[in-house]
Amino acid sequence: MKIITSITMLRQILDNYRRQNKSIGFVPTMGAFHKGHLSLMRRCRKDHDIALVSIFVNPTQFAPGEDLSSYPRNKKNDVLLAKEENIDIIFYPSVKKLYSGRYLTHINVGEISEELCGKTRPNHFQGVATIVGKLINIVQPHVLYLGQKDAQQSVVIQQMVQDLNFPVKIKVLPTTREKNGLAMSSRNKYLSVEERKQASVLYKSLLLAKIKINAGQRNANAIIKSMRRNITENASCSIEYIACVDTQTLKPLKKLRGKILIALAVRFGHARLIDNILINMKD
Ligand code: AMP
């Protein structure tokens, strides 16, 4: 496995692989690997001749006061885990390499960036779209692997790829969870043992929503209310949002029909956790 920090060197290596008609799969990450990251790597490895993972804690997607400086970083362990997954290349650029000198260009994916998490993290998705756009241009992969865990991020990136005609296919893979249902996240490291236990209520509340929908409930407010009650009765936390939205526009729905996304963001102590489920209603 190669660990590359230079953009020029990475391009040379990948150009060479492309000339040999090798397919390239790419998993962009911020490191501190957990089983969610590993599931993306495994699929990428299985699907491609060359499996590439980037590790870059992107400063421009963090607002002042967010957890940029404390965000978990564990290069040594990440390298070991990527090796175990038979990854070919880790791209590990510095901030200076990606935002050198006079950096002026930003990708803004319009109104879908302003829904859900965009309401409390106003520049977050501009930071995400810009870095992923840059990484796609550097790596030029055939397929980009993303996790459903960050549902809005996947929608924003898919929209960007479509709007800007990036020649890359996107695969969104299911959320990997702890045994108790908690979605795996690098930020789970901020949770105490008790918070980690309590945070399992997030997925339980999403499953409760699913049960209610399967039983015929179509009123979004009623679903949100029952989820809110379920969470507040079982955990000491602060709910940022719970929303039932259209899977493409991410706009809130009143009456549920078709394909919907139920998403939430909840704070447990220092940890801001997100989770979601997709539901496809037949009627
Ligand atoms: P991150 O390092 O948190 O930026 O995540 C890198 C990629 O892994 C993103 O596409 C995430 O959506 C994905 N990911 C993070 N957590 C999970 C999870 N629990 N299950 C599946 N994919 C995940």
Residue 236 covered by a domain: yes
Residue 262 covered by a domain: yes
Q: What is the pLDDT of residues 129-172, one digit of tens each?
A: 999 999 999 999 999 999 999 999 999 999 999 999 999 999 99
CATH number of the domain within which 215 lies: 3.30.1300.10
For residue 98, the CA-to-ligand 1 centroid distance in Å is 21
Q: Which atom of ligand 1 is the closest one to the Cα of 175?
A: 20
The last residue of a domain, from among 111, 139, 173: 173
Best CA proximity match to 153, nearest among 58, 219, 79, 82 = 58
Residue 282 covered by a domain: no
Same domain, yes or no: 210 and 231? yes
Contact in structure between 262 and 244 (CB atoms under 8 Å):
yes
The last residue of a domain, from among 173, 204, 236: 173
**pLDDT at position 282:** 78
Paired tokens of 172: 């969104």
Same domain, yes or no: 192 and 261? yes
Residue 248 covered by a domain: yes
For residue 36, the CA-to-ligand 1 centroid distance in Å is 6
CATH number of the domain within which 128 lies: 3.40.50.620
Same domain, yes or no: 131 and 157? yes
Q: With 0-12 CB in 10 A as exposed, 13-18 as middle and 19+ as buried, what is 123?
A: middle
Residue 181 covered by a domain: no
Same domain, yes or no: 167 and 43? yes
For residue 101, the CA-to-ligand 1 centroid distance in Å is 30
Q: How many domains does the chain have?
A: 2
48 is catalytic: no
Same domain, yes or no: 154 and 75? yes
**Interatomic CA distance for residues 85 and 91, integer angstroms:** 15
Same domain, yes or no: 193 and 115? no
Paired tokens of 236: 């000491």
**pLDDT at position 100:** 84
Same domain, yes or no: 105 and 159? yes
Same domain, yes or no: 132 and 51? yes
The last residue of a domain, from among 119, 138, 173: 173
Global pTM?
A: 0.98
Residue 180 covered by a domain: no
Same domain, yes or no: 214 and 113? no
For residue 7, the CA-to-ligand 1 centroid distance in Å is 23
Same domain, yes or no: 87 and 15? yes
Domain range enclosing 243: 186-277
Among 54, 56, 149, say which to mutate for ligand 1: greatest number of ligand atoms within 8 Å of CB. 149
Among 78, 85, 150, say which to mutate for ligand 1: greatest number of ligand atoms within 8 Å of CB. 150
Residue 141 covered by a domain: yes
| Measured CA distances, 95 to 5, 59, 68 (Å) | 11, 8, 12
Rounded to 5 degrees, what are φ and ψ at 265?
A: -135, 125
Catalytic pick among 34, 37, 48, 106: 37
**Interatomic CA distance for residues 73 and 70, integer angstroms:** 8
Residue 179 covered by a domain: no
Same domain, yes or no: 82 and 139? yes
Same domain, yes or no: 90 and 223? no
Residues with CB under 6 A from ligand 1: 29-30, 36-37, 39-40, 146-147, 149-150, 173, 175-176, 183-186
Tens-digit pLDDT profile for the chain (283 aa)? 999 999 999 999 999 999 999 999 999 999 999 999 999 999 999 999 999 999 999 999 999 999 999 999 999 999 999 999 999 999 999 999 999 889 999 999 999 999 999 999 999 999 999 999 999 999 999 999 999 999 999 999 999 999 999 999 999 999 999 999 999 999 999 999 999 999 999 999 999 999 999 999 999 999 999 999 999 999 999 999 999 999 999 999 999 999 999 999 999 999 999 999 999 987 6
Q: Label each residue of the chain as H, E or C.
A: CEEECCHHHHHHHHHHHHHCCCCEEEEEECCCCCHHHHHHHHHHHHHCCEEEEEECCCHHHCCCCCCCCCCCCCHHHHHHHHHHCCCCEEECCCHHHHCCCCCCCCCCCHHHHCCHHHHCCCCHHHHHHHHHHHHHHHHCCCEEEEEHHHHHHHHHHHHHHHHCCCCCEEEEECCCECCCCCECCHHHHHCCHHHHHHCCHHHHHHHHHHHHHHCCCCEHHHHHHHHHHHHHHHCCCEEEEEEEEECCCCCECCECCCEEEEEEEEEECCEEEEEEEEEECCC
